[in-house]
Amino acid sequence: MFQNVIVKQPCHRIAEGITSSPELGKPDYEKALEQHCAYVKALEKTGAKVCVLEANDAFPDSCFVEDTAVLTSKCAIVTNPGADSRKDETAAIVPVLQHFFPKEVIEFIHAPGTLEGGDVMMVRNHFYVGKSSRTNAEGIRQFLDILKKYGLSGSEVPLEHVLHLKTGVNYIENRNILVSGEFKNNSQFESYQKIEIPEEEAYAANSIWMNGTVIVPQGYPQTEQLIRDAGYPVITVDASEFRKIDGGLSCLSLRFTSLL
């Protein structure tokens, strides 16, 4: 169960966010705010207490707070984002984390290592970490060393096509895992019960488990039905404005249980 969630409001400069899909157009600020509000309400419906951080206009992508930290049952790991325009986002998350984690268990990824939270998927006490354009070998080495220090484990997953690991694979508990694209035949996930997302709905592979419920992006009916058929209650939320700047549902929050 996740008792706590941290989110960060979209900023006025959201239209300047990094994108690999300019054909989708630029996000509309007011619509993004409305969608973010609905996202927070969906999280609250699952019983979580949501901490909403104010927007920061210095960083167009800063609503994707997941990339700034990895929060475990034993420690918090502050990342070092691989995108140059996002590196300083982590400074703002540290004082927030100190409300939830003792200072002595807040760890850091240091340059030249890079790591973004979107590349990390937690399965209980094991963490899969994607080697991507944003997360490099040195960042992964540091990350795995920190996990070992706290009795946790991890393994590297080389990425071929997607931006982040969780763009295409997400664990929804009970040994069930959502997979799309390159992850459908990845041997590292053979032991899980795979829910294969249709290629035309690949964006919806980035759905999130929250306290027994799965939150799914709106507009992907096949994925929604597959998840319902697997026995989960579903809440759908519109994430269309965030998709325009390469963001999914997991990107918009840090989901965890406080150690304080």
User: Can you tell me the distance from the alpha carbon of 85 to that of 69, in angstroms, rounded to the nearest whole number?
Assistant: 16
User: Can you tell me the distance from the alpha carbon of 202 to that of 206, in angstroms, rounded to the nearest whole number?
Assistant: 8
Task: Tabulate helix, strand, coil % of the chain (nearest 5).
Answer: 35, 25, 40
Half-sphere exposure of 122 (CA within 13 A, CB side): 21
Does the active-site annotation cover 12? no
Does the active-site annotation cover 251? yes
And the tokens for 248?
A: 């999914």
And the tokens for 75?
A: 């420690």
User: Can you tell me the distance from the alpha carbon of 6 to that of 116, in angstroms, rounded to the nearest whole number?
Assistant: 16
Strand ranges in 28-167 using DSSP code E only, listed in sequence order: 49-53, 69-71, 76-78, 106-108, 120-123, 126-131, 153-158
Strand ranges in 112-239 using DSSP code E only, listed in sequence order: 120-123, 126-131, 153-158, 169-171, 176-179, 193-196, 208-210, 213-217, 234-237
User: Can you tell me the distance from the alpha carbon of 99 to that of 155, in angstroms, rounded to the nearest whole number?
Assistant: 29
* Catalytic residue set: 164, 251
